[in-house]
A = this chain, B = another copy of it.
Amino acid sequence: MLRSERPIGIFDSGLGGLTVFKAVRGLMPAENLVYFGDTARVPYGTKSQSAVVSFSREIAGCLFAKKIKFLIVACNTASSLALEEIKRISPVPVLGVITPGVRAALRLVPRGGRILVTGTAATVTSRAYSRALLAVRPDVRVTEKACPLFVPVVEEGWCSKPLAGLVAGEYLAAFRRAKIDALILGCTHYPLLRKVIARVLGPRVKIIDSAGATAIAAKLELSRLGLLNSGRSRGKCEFLVSDAPERFSGLALKLLGIKTGAVTVKRF
Q: Which residues of A contact B (CB under 8 A)?
A: 39-42, 46-48, 50-51, 54, 148-149, 151-153, 155-156, 158, 161-163, 166-167, 170, 242-244, 247, 267
Contact B243 A47 (CB under 8 A): yes
Q: Which residues of B contact A163 (CB under 8 A)?
A: 163, 166-167, 170
Contact B51 A47 (CB under 8 A): no
Given contacts A148-B152, A149-B149, 20 further A-B contacts (CB under 8 A): A39-B46, A39-B47, A40-B41, A40-B47, A41-B41, A46-B155, A46-B247, A47-B244, A48-B244, A50-B243, A51-B242, A51-B243, A148-B155, A148-B156, A149-B152, A149-B153, A149-B158, A158-B170, A163-B166, A163-B167
Known: A163-B163, A166-B166, A167-B163. A51 touches B156 (CB 8 A): no
Q: Which residues of B contact A156 (CB under 8 A)?
A: 148-149
> How many copies of the polypeptide does the oligomer hold?
2
20 contacts between A and B (CB under 8 A): A40-B47, A41-B41, A47-B243, A50-B267, A51-B243, A51-B244, A51-B267, A148-B155, A148-B156, A149-B152, A149-B153, A149-B156, A149-B158, A151-B152, A152-B152, A158-B170, A163-B163, A163-B167, A163-B170, A166-B166
